[in-house]
Amino acid sequence: MTIGDLRDALGGVRASDDAADRVAYARDLWPRHHLAVRAGNVEGHRPAGIVWPESTEDVARIVRWAHDTRTPVVPFGAGSGVCAGVLPDDRTIVIDLKRMARVRSLDVEGRVMEVEAGHMGLPLEEDLARRGLTLGHFPSSILCSTVGGWVAARSAGQCSGLYGKIEDMVLALECVTGTGAVVTLRHRTSGPSLVPLVVGSEGTLAVVTSATLRLHPAPRVRAFRAFSFPTTKQGWEAMREIFQSGLRPAVLRLYDPFDAMLARRGSAKKDGNVSRGAPGLGAAALRSLLRSPAAINELLEGKIGGALFGGALLVAIFESGTDDDAPERDLDHARAIAARMQGEDLGEGPARKWIAHRYSVSYRQAPVFASGLFSDTMEVAAPWSKLEALYEGVRRALGEHVFVMAHLSHAYPDGCCIYFSFAGTAARAEGEAAGWDARCEATYDRAWRAALDAALAAGGTLAHHHGAGRSKAPRLGVEHGTAGTQATLAVMRAFDPAGILNPGALRPDVPSPYVDDAFPTEVKA
């Protein structure tokens, strides 16, 4: 089937099989894709075409046609996913939902809205703020992500400590199942609720067309503070006690010493200037340095790193939608807890600086890849009792292959998420030398495999808020077990009996995505 067949069958639906469009929709922002693109492989995974529906009925017609013709379809928001949630082939039709961006209803007094899946994140929050409201959902990707993408990936925002994750905000979902049926799923007060199944399903169960969301008063009062701790562990013990004491900071983020140094510096250059020069001697030196990541990680993880970079940094922000002193009172309580864990009060400055640059981190990757390196993130989570084993195990596993740093950003009374960031370069050539990008892929794949295995061994969960896509899917069977895997596949068959919705995502029974899909090119170190 082709996009022409779809046009003939449906008519009136905007569609394209233009070569440039097919390349643009061939992938999300999975960093391993960037290695392929850097190597010159920009044509891999091109879909058959793209469609831009403007209504739920358009989506239903498209999916019914796909079901009848057994054509795979992939829902698409803004393409900012980082786990290979989008990986079409030349039979696949991509359904871009951004033309479905209407606010269908807004109840200011009831603090509830229904918004279509293609609505972009930042304009949504800005519109709510003008009305004195907030959804409270501020992912780092807010400038380049949609409501439907948040639901599909089970997204978490930077203020999750107070407002929760996206699943805590969703009251109902309008969806199109794999047969083309339009259904509205609502949270139930009794009996089973299907909403939690679709949230986080990454387009494998249904195409989300709208979401009914719970709103909150926009913050009117905020209290800012930052604390420095001798060790990262002392910092997360303070986080644990803060949440277990009943406090609910909007933001509570702990950075290990190296990541703390970056957070203190901020993420943007003066006047917003970014270097556009080609990689030079500095890039070559960095590539050479990152060929021995284990030694660097060991040096910086110990007391030397803590002393050199000023210890771990905890950023705390409390807020309230009313004019009261609750944020200051809660901050006083948190300050006392931090002091018991040897936390040094740094005042408001670092916390205010963090919020001023809160989205800048999303735009750091391009210079890294242009320098012949790669970077990525991995977010995992565990109960507090297993957090140290998770932190040490994953950090050690990654550290054998890449330079690694971490922060803890989404905490709960019973556990916490750890967000690892890492950078690496090409593995040393062994035997018959491979190209630079192929050797970067080899390093990348070894790091990811080792880290996923370490997370499972520590009793952690493999995904907290980025989703799993195809990046983590090969290990989901180990985490979920046979019964969990069978249940997942049974739910997929119930929603999508023909198996046309984003085939391959979230499935531990499909081949690993770690394949040689780059065209190697030589890059001198």
Residue 429 has pLDDT above 70, yes or no: no
The mean pLDDT value for 245-264 works out to 90
The mean pLDDT value for 444-469 works out to 95
For residue 312, name the pLDDT band (cuts at 50, 70, 90).
very high
Q: Per residue in 24-41, pLDDT tens?
A: 999 999 999 899 888 888
Report the C-alpha gap between 107 and 212 in whole angstroms. 11
Report percent pLDDT > 70 for the chain: 90
Q: Per residue in 96-132, pLDDT tens?
A: 999 999 999 999 999 999 999 999 999 999 999 999 9
What pLDDT does 305 receive?
Answer: 63
**Domain locations along the chain:** 103-217, 221-267+277-457
For residue 272, name the pLDDT band (cuts at 50, 70, 90).
very low
Q: Per residue in 223-241, pLDDT tens?
A: 999 999 999 999 999 999 9
**Its pTM surpasses 0.75:** yes
188 or 314: which leads in pLDDT? 314
**Do 154 and 465 contact (CB within 8 A), yes or no?**
yes
127 or 309: which leads in pLDDT? 127
What pLDDT does 304 receive?
Answer: 64
What pLDDT does 279 receive?
Answer: 44
The architecture that CATH gives domain 221-267+277-457 is: 3-Layer(aba) Sandwich (3.40)
What pLDDT does 413 receive?
Answer: 97
In the 8-state DSSP scheme, what is residue 42? -
Sheet containing strand 344-347, edge to edge, reads: 344-347, 221-229, 312-320, 251-255, 403-412, 415-424, 374-383
Cβ neighbors of 438 (< 8 A, separation 6 or more) are 39, 516, 518, 520
The mean pLDDT value for 277-306 works out to 67
User: What pairs with residue 133 in β-bridges?
Assistant: 217
The yes or no reply on domain 103-217 and CATH 3.40.50.300 is no
List Cα–Cα distances, 37 to 32, 82, 430, 449, in angstroms: 9, 15, 24, 22
If you average pLDDT over every residue of the chain, what do you get? 89
What one-letter code names the amino acid at 134? T
What pLDDT does 519 receive?
Answer: 32
Long-range contacts, 355-358 (Cβ 8 Å, 24+): 355/224, 355/251, 355/317, 356/266, 357/266, 357/267, 357/268, 358/138, 358/140, 358/158
| Strands in 336-482 per DSSP E | 344-347, 374-383, 403-412, 415-424
Residue 146 has pLDDT above 80, yes or no: yes
Residue 81 has pLDDT above 70, yes or no: yes
What pLDDT does 437 receive?
Answer: 87
What pLDDT does 276 receive?
Answer: 38
Residue 451 has pLDDT above 70, yes or no: yes
List Cα–Cα distances, 512 to 280, 422, 472, 492, 502, in angstroms: 35, 21, 9, 20, 16
Count CB-CB contacts under 10 A for residue 483.
Answer: 8
Residue 280 has pLDDT above 60, yes or no: no
User: What pairs with residue 15 in β-bridges?
Assistant: 51
What one-letter code names the amino acid at 486? Q
What pLDDT does 524 receive?
Answer: 36
- What string of H, E and C letters represents the secondary structure of 485-525? HHHHHHHHHHHCCCCCECCCCCCCCCCCCCCCCCCCCCCCC
Q: Per residue in 476-496, pLDDT tens?
A: 999 999 999 999 999 999 999
Residue 316 has pLDDT above 60, yes or no: yes
Report percent pLDDT > 90 for the chain: 71
**Do 77 and 101 contact (CB within 8 A), yes or no?**
no
Residues in the chain: 525
The mean pLDDT value for 371-382 works out to 94
Residue 466's Cβ-count burial label (10 Å; 0-12, 13-18, 19+) is: buried
431 φψ region: left (φ > 0), alpha (ψ -120 to 50), beta (else): left
Cβ neighbors of 143 (< 8 A, separation 6 or more) are 120, 121, 122, 359, 362
Residue 271 has pLDDT above 70, yes or no: no
Mode of pairing for the β-strands spanning 415-424 and 206-214: unpaired
Lowest mean pLDDT among 156-165, 409-418, 436-445: 436-445
Residue 299 has pLDDT above 90, yes or no: no
Please choose, from the candidates 525, 514, 513, the residue with its C-alpha nearest in 3D space to the C-alpha of residue 373. Answer: 525
The mean pLDDT value for 247-265 works out to 88
Alpha helices in 174-292 (DSSP H): 195-198, 232-244, 257-265, 281-289
302 or 68: which leads in pLDDT? 68
Mode of pairing for the β-strands spanning 49-52 and 93-96: parallel
